[in-house]
């Protein structure tokens, strides 16, 4: 085993070095040249490396072998278990641990960049906007990026201003390097890292700055580094008294110009232009790159901050099922056996040992690449495990996956009790609603709610709008919205909805007053303004008291209420009143209330009102698509719904 680890490490470090001399590699690995020569001669004889006068470099066969051995190497070095522990501890979607200490090993630092580049390359798709922060770690990622086979319409942007740092680690430099390496486009933000109040006020009004800020806030992917608080403060040449204050407040980490203590609380914010914490939560994927033993406390600190956790978790939840098995066992009052896979001979053997009434919980099906591709072969392997397929996963019914749609064509397939209830309740609301029927639509972006608003305008009597998508409607009507969230590609769509409501004689409610904030934190300054009064550098974060009263009255006089999406940033207490009062109105009305999953359900739980709602959907995306009038593949495939 030790020999295998040694040879893998030698081959891996040669790969990371491009070309390296034998003496240099021997010194870095603390080996004698004689021992290393014997190993590298063997690797050369196997065709895994090439040696010439310039030094040693990896061959194509060596590259292929390293790729094949990567999962095995993680087990060899104990990295898989460590990744799993970190993922569970911080609620992350995915963790990649690379061997070594990048504080002292250039090989470890280069591997950190390679891992980051691989993660980014795997998730980029057409028309993505990718925001990147400055720093040596993200610069290392840029160096390792390789051109994708085909990618169209991708933009790279700096996550924030950075003039004043060393040129090679400025966010502008890194964004342009990444774009050039993958054949994408880029825009730069030519503003200093640290701004005075006067400079900020001046720059925020600049049309060219506004243009790049809007693009930054459209980012689907963010890739960022994590810095030690004091080191970053000194690098940015902050005043000594500010550095002293940071130390007194217990600041241990910095990211995006925010300084965090060891509890993940923001203790200091730099006045800067670019991506803010609230923007991070709105992105689909956040990739944090950090390494070195000296950064351990800083990494822990940033990962404890809620917005980073939520952003990562939201990217795609792939959750190992060991803890689920333990909880299921408690609920059933009997032992639940946990399988290590979801297909295969070992699983079949475990099933054969079951008695009537026994429970076997399969491993997460998404660990198989064919699951989300609806691979017929994987569906066949699932079907080999059972006599009947019962689909009770309404939350996944909108996905045509091997375990939801593919298997249903291979076995007698029926709905479970939860699926049956969801279809009955939502189906009645859409096809035969009690009237007046009020639909409440909130959330961040118009593009995510286009189809549901369009369909509900045909069915509902009242449509209430709240949340971040409000400001696109305001902008479409000609109002200034400051720094509020804007989906500027959907302005015509927003106006179209208003016109459609008038044509159909429907009541279409938009806020008449707004809570605005000068920062995205519980300690921010707030004020209540009319729809024409949003300051240029403030952001709308909630509906105002007049709007709450109007919405509550509409809800009170309804017979059926369907609610999907919060009215504001309810996770932050000063911005939560609109969502709370709408939830209270839904709880108090005599109407039948349906909560459409996702954030609305989370809000009802937070305000301890969930038990007063008639139906809280488990669907999230499935309930949204059902209300849009779309066909759910997982439902259509069933023999008996």
- Model pTM? 0.54
- Among 97-111, 217-231, 237-251, 333-347, the least confident range: 97-111
Looking at every residue in the chain, the average pLDDT score rounds to 86
Position 314 scores a pLDDT of 37
Using alpha carbons, select from 561, 606, 559, 598 the residue that is nearest to residue 579. Answer: 606
pLDDT, tens digit, 9 for 90 and up, residues 32-64: 888 888 888 888 888 989 998 888 988 988 888
For residue 573, pLDDT beyond 90 = no
Would you say residue 17 has pLDDT above 60? yes
Residue range 322-411, CATH number: 3.40.50.1260
- Distance of alpha carbon 418 from alpha carbon 590, whole angstroms: 24
CA dist 154 and 217 (Å) reads 15
| Domain ranges within the chain, ordered by starting residue | 1-77, 93-315, 322-411, 435-590
Q: Class of the 435-590 domain?
A: alpha beta
Q: What are residue 593's phi and psi, to 5 degrees?
A: -110, 130
Burial grade of 352 (CB within 10 A; 0-12, 13-18, 19 or more): exposed
- Centre a 10 Å sphere on the Cβ of residue 90 and count the other Cβ atoms it contains: 18
Q: In whole angstroms, what is the distance from residue 91 CA to residue 304 CA?
A: 10
Residue 474 sits at the vertex; the CA angle it makes with 470 and 476, to the nearest 5 degrees, is 115
Q: What is the CATH number of domain 1-77?
A: 1.10.10.10
| pLDDT one-digit tens code per residue, 285-338 | 889 888 887 888 888 888 777 544 444 433 333 334 556 666 766 777 777 888
pLDDT one-digit tens code per residue, 206-221: 788 888 888 888 899 9
Q: Which is nearest to 543 in space by CA: 530, 558, 562, 524?
A: 530
Q: What is the pLDDT of residue 424?
A: 93
Query: pLDDT digits over 465-480, tens only?
Result: 999 999 999 999 999 9
DSSP conformation letters of 481-516: -TT----GGGHHHHHHHHHHHHHHT-EEE--SEEEE
- Which stretch, 140-144, 407-411, 487-491, 628-632, has highest mean pLDDT? 407-411
Judge if the upstream peptide bond of residue 591 is cis by omega within 30 degrees of 0.
no
| Integer Cα distance of 204 and 104 in angstroms | 41
- 201/503 Cα distance (integer angstroms): 43
Mean pLDDT along residues 372-379? 93
* pLDDT for position 322: 57
The larger pLDDT score, comparing residue 159 to residue 90, is at: 159
Instruction: Quickly state the pLDDT bin for 132 (edges 50, 70, 90).
Output: very high
pLDDT in tens, 67-93: 777 777 666 666 777 777 777 767 777
List, for residues 587-640, the tens digit of each pLDDT value. 999 999 999 867 888 889 889 999 999 999 988 778 888 888 888 999 999 976
pLDDT over 60 (residue 163) = no
pLDDT at 168 over 70: yes
**Six-digit token pair at 304?**
């404890």
Bigger pLDDT: 636 vs 111: 636
Q: In the CATH scheme, what is the code of domain 93-315?
A: 3.40.50.1360
User: What span, in angstroms and rounded, lies between the C-alpha atoms of 3 and 272?
Assistant: 51
């Amino acid at each position: 085993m030790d020999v295998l680890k040694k040879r893998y490490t030698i081959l891996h470090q040669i790969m990371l070095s491009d070309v390296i001399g034998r003496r240099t590699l021997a010194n870095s690995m603390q080996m004698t040249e004689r021992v290393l020569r014997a190993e590298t001669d063997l690797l050369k004889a196997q065709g895994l490396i090439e040696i010439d006068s310039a030094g040693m470099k990896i061959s194509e066969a060596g590259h292929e072998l390293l790729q094949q051995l990567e999962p095995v190497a993680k087990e060899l070095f104990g990295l898989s278990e460590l990744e799993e522990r970190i993922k569970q501890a911080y609620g992350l979607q995915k963790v990649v641990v690379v061997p070594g200490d990048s504080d002292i090993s250039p090989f470890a630092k280069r591997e950190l960049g390679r891992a980051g580049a691989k993660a980014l390359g795997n998730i980029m798709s057409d028309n993505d906007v990718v925001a990147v922060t400055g720093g040596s770690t993200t610069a290392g990622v840029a160096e390792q990026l390789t051109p994708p086979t085909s990618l169209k319409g991708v933009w790279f942007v700096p996550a924030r201003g950075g003039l004043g740092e060393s040129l090679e680690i400025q966010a502008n430099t890194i964004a342009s390097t990444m774009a050039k390496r993958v054949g994408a486009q880029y825009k730069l933000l030519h503003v200093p890292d640290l701004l005075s109040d006067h400079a900020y006020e001046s720059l925020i009004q600049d049309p060219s700055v506004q243009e790049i800020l809007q693009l930054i806030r459209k980012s689907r992917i963010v890739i960022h580094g994590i810095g030690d608080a004091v080191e970053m403060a000194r690098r940015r040449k902050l005043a000594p008294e500010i550095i002293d204050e940071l130390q007194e407040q217990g600041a241990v980490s910095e990211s995006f110009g925010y300084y965090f203590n060891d509890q993940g609380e923001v203790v200091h914010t730099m006045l800067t232009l670019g991506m803010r914490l609230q923007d991070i939560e709105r992105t689909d994927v956040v990739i944090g790159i950090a390494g070195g033993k000296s950064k351990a406390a800083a990494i822990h600190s940033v990962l404890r901050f809620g917005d980073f956790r939520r952003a990562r978790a939201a990217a795609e939840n792939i959750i190992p099922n060991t803890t689920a098995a333990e909880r299921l066992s408690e609920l059933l009052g009997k032992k639940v056996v946990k399988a290590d896979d979801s297909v295969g001979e070992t699983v079949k053997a475990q099933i054969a040992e079951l008695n009537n009434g026994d429970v076997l919980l399969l491993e997460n099906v998404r660990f198989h690449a064919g699951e989300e591709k609806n691979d017929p072969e994987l569906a066949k392997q699932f079907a080999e495990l059972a006599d009947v397929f019962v689909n009770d996963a309404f939350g996944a019914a909108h996905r045509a996956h091997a375990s939801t749609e593919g298997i249903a064509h291979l076995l007698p397939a029926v709905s479970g009790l939860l699926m049956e209830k969801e279809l009955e309740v939502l189906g009645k609301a859409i096809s035969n609603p009690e009237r007046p029927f009020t639909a409440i639509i909130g959330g961040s972006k118009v593009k995510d709610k286009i189809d549901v608003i369009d369909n509900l305008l045909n069915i509902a009597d009242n449509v209430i709008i709240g949340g971040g998508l409000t400001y696109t409607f305001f902008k479409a009507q000609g109002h200034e919205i400051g720094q509020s969230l804007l989906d500027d590609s959907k302005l015509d769509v927003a106006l179209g909805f208003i016109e459609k409501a008038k044509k159909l004689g429907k009541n279409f409610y938009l806020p008449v007053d707004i809570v605005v904030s000068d920062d995205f934190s519980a300690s921010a300054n707030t004020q209540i303004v009319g729809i024409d009064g949003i300051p240029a550098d403030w952001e709308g974060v909630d509906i105002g008291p007049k709007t709450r009263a109007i919405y509550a009255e509409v809800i009170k006089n309804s017979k059926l209420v369907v609610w999907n999406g919060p009215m504001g940033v309810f996770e932050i207490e000063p911005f939560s009143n609109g969502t709370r009062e709408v939830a209270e109105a839904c709880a108090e009305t005599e109407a039948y209330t349906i909560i459409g999953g996702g954030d609305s359900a989370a809000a009802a739980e937070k305000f301890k009102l969930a038990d007063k709602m008639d139906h809280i959907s488990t669907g999230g995306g499935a309930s949204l698509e059902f209300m849009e009038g779309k066909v759910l593949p997982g439902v259509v495939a069933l023999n008996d719904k």
